[in-house]
Structure 1
Amino acid sequence: MKAVFMTMLTAWLTTHCLPAQPIAEAPYSSPVNTDTMIAHFKNEAENLFGYTLGLHAHLCTHPELSWKEFETTRLLAAELDAMGIPYRILKRGTGLIAVIDCNDPDAQTVILRFDIDQLNVAEEGKKLYPSGVKGASAACGHSAHTAIGMTVAKILLPLRHQLKGRLVIMAQPAEELITDPGCKYMIEEEGILDFPNITGAFGLHVTPNYQSGDIHLAEGEFMASANEMDAVFYGKSGHVQGQKNTRNTIHAAAEFITQLNIIRSAHSDPFQPLLLACTKIHSNTWANENSNLVPDTTSCTVIFRTLSLKYLEEMTRRIRQIAQNVANSFDQQVVFKEFPGIPTVKNDPELTRWSREQLIGLLGAEHVKPADPRMGGDDVSFLSHRIRLVYLRLGSGGAPEFEFPLHDKQFQVNPACLPVGVSALAYLIYQKMAL
Structure 2
Amino acid sequence: MQQEILDYVDSLAADLQHWRRDLHHYAESGWLEFRTATLVAAELHRLGWQLQMGREVISAEHRMGLPDAATLQREEQRAIEQGALTEWLPHFSGGFCGLVATLETGRPGPVVAFRVDMDALDLNERLQDDHRPFRDGFASCNAGMMHACGHDGHTTIGIGLARTLMTFAAQLNGTLKIIFQPAEEGTRGAKAMVEAGVVDEVDFFGAIHIGTGVPAGELVCGCDSFMATTKLDVDFHGVASHAGGRPEEGRNALLAAAQATLALHTLTQHSGGSARVNVGVLRAGSGRNVVADRASMKVETRGGSNQVNDDIFARTQQVIAGAAAMYDVEHHITLMGSARSSQPTAPWVRFIRQQAAQIAQITSRVDSKNQAAGSEDATWMMERVKARGGQASYLIFGCDLSAGHHNEKFDFDESVMATAIKTLTLLALNIDQYREEEK
For the criterion TM > 0.5, the same-fold answer is yes
* Counterpart residue identity of residue 41, structure 2: A
Q: Shift in Å at residue 83 of structure 1?
A: 2.6
Question: What letter is aligned with 1:192?
Answer: V
CA contact (8 A) 1:230 1:338 kept: yes
Q: 1:253 aligns with which of 242, 257, 278?
A: 257
Deviation, structure 1 residue 41: 4.5
Check whether the contact 1:208–1:403 (CA below 8 A) recurs between aligned residues. Answer: no
Tell me the residue number matched to 1:101.
Answer: 104
Asked whether 1:218 is paired with 2:218, we answer no
Distance 1:405 1:101 in 2: 39
Q: Are residues 60 and 321 of structure 1, via their aligned partners in 2, closer, same or farther at CA, if it must alter by over 3 Å?
A: same
Find 2:193's aligned residue among 162, 183, 186: 186
Aligned pairs for 1:6-405 (under 5 A) are 37=2, 39-91=3-55, 92-93=91-92, 94-104=97-107, 107-124=109-126, 125=128, 126-128=131-133, 129-176=138-185, 178-179=187-188, 181=189, 183-189=190-196, 191-193=197-199, 195=201, 198-218=202-222, 221-233=224-236, 235-241=238-244, 242-243=246-247, 246-264=250-268, 267-269=269-271, 272-284=273-285, 289-327=286-324, 330-333=326-329, 335-339=331-335, 341-346=337-342, 347-363=344-360, 366-369=363-366, 370-387=368-385, 388-397=391-400, 402-405=401-404
SS at match of 2:208: strand
| 1:134 aligned partner, one-letter code | A
Structure having the higher Rg: 1
Counterpart-to-counterpart distance in 2, 1:132 and 1:247: 45
Shift of 1:71: 2.3
Cα 1:391–1:218 change in 2 (3 A) is closer
Structure 1 residue ranges (4+ consecutive) displaced by more than 6 angstroms after TM superposition: none
- State the AA in 1 paired with 2:231: E
1:315 CA drift (Å):
0.6
433 and 48 in structure 1: CA distance in 2 versus 1, 3 angstrom threshold: farther
Residues 88 and 238 of structure 1: CA distance in aligned 2, closer, same or farther (over 3 Å)? closer
What SS does the corresponding residue of 1:51 show, helix, strand or coil? Answer: helix
Secondary structure class of the residue paired with 1:113: strand
8 Å contact from structure 1 (residues 217, 356) kept in 2: yes
CA deviation string 1:59-115 (max 9, x = no partner): 11122232332322232233224433333433442332222222425x421112211
Structure 2 match to 1:28 = none
Alpha-carbon distance between aligned partners in 2 of 1:86 and 1:233, rounded to the nearest angstrom: 47
Q: How does the TM-score come out when normalised to structure 1?
A: 0.78
Q: Which residue of 2 aligns with 1:6?
A: none
Letter in 1 for 2:193: M
Alpha-carbon spacing, 1:259–1:70, altered in 2? closer, same or farther (3 Å): closer
User: What's the CA shift for 1:368?
Assistant: 1.1
Larger mean Cα displacement after TM superposition, 311-320 or 341-350: 341-350
Cα distance change, pair 199–319 in 1 and its aligned pair in 2 (3 A) = same
Is the 1:116–1:171 Cα contact (8 Å) retained in structure 2? yes
Aligned pairs, number: 380
Structure 1 residue matching 2:429: 3-state secondary structure: helix
Q: Which ranges of structure 2 fall in alignment gaps of 5 or more residues?
A: 56-90, 386-390
Q: Is the 8 A contact 2:187 2:339 kept in 1?
A: no
Question: How many angstroms does 1:338 deviate by?
Answer: 4.5
Counterpart AA for 1:341: G
Query: How far 1:321 sits from its partner (Å)?
Result: 3.6
Please report how far the alpha carbon of residue 283 of structure 1 lies from its aligned counterpart in structure 2 after TM superposition.
2.6
- The aligned amino acid for 1:382 is W
- The one-letter amino acid of 2:412's match is V
The equivalent of 1:409 in structure 2 is: 408
Instruction: Tell me, in whole angstroms, the C-alpha distance in 2 between the residues paired with 1:120 and 1:211.
Output: 26
Residue by residue over 1:312-337, the C-alpha shift from the partner in whole angstroms, topping out at 9 and shown as x without a partner, is 12112332343445455x44346351
Which digits, 9 at most, give the CA deviation of each residue in 1:257-279, with x for residues without a partner?
Answer: 22333223xx334x733332112
TM-score (norm 2): 0.77
Please tell me whether the aligned partners of residues 253 and 327 of structure 2 are also in contact (alpha carbons under 8 angstroms). Answer: no
CA distance in 1, matches of 2:214, 2:375: 18
Q: Aligned partners of 2:171 and 2:186: how far apart in 1?
A: 38
- SS class of match (1:87): strand
Q: Deviations over 1:105-139 (max 9, x none)?
A: 5x421112211222232101413331222332211
Given that 1:212 and 1:416 are in contact with CA atoms closer than 8 Å, whether structure 2 keeps it comes out as no
CA RMSD of aligned residues (A): 2.8
Question: How far apart are the structure 1 equivalents of 2:265 and 2:117?
Answer: 35
Are residues 302 and 46 of structure 1, via their aligned partners in 2, closer, same or farther at CA, if it must alter by over 3 Å? same
For the 8 Å contact 1:396–1:414, the answer to whether it is kept is yes
Against the structure 1 CA distance between its residues 64 and 233, is the aligned structure 2 distance closer, same or farther, given a 3 Å change threshold?
Answer: closer
**Counterpart-to-counterpart distance in 1, 2:370 and 2:149:** 19
One-letter amino acid matched to 1:136: M
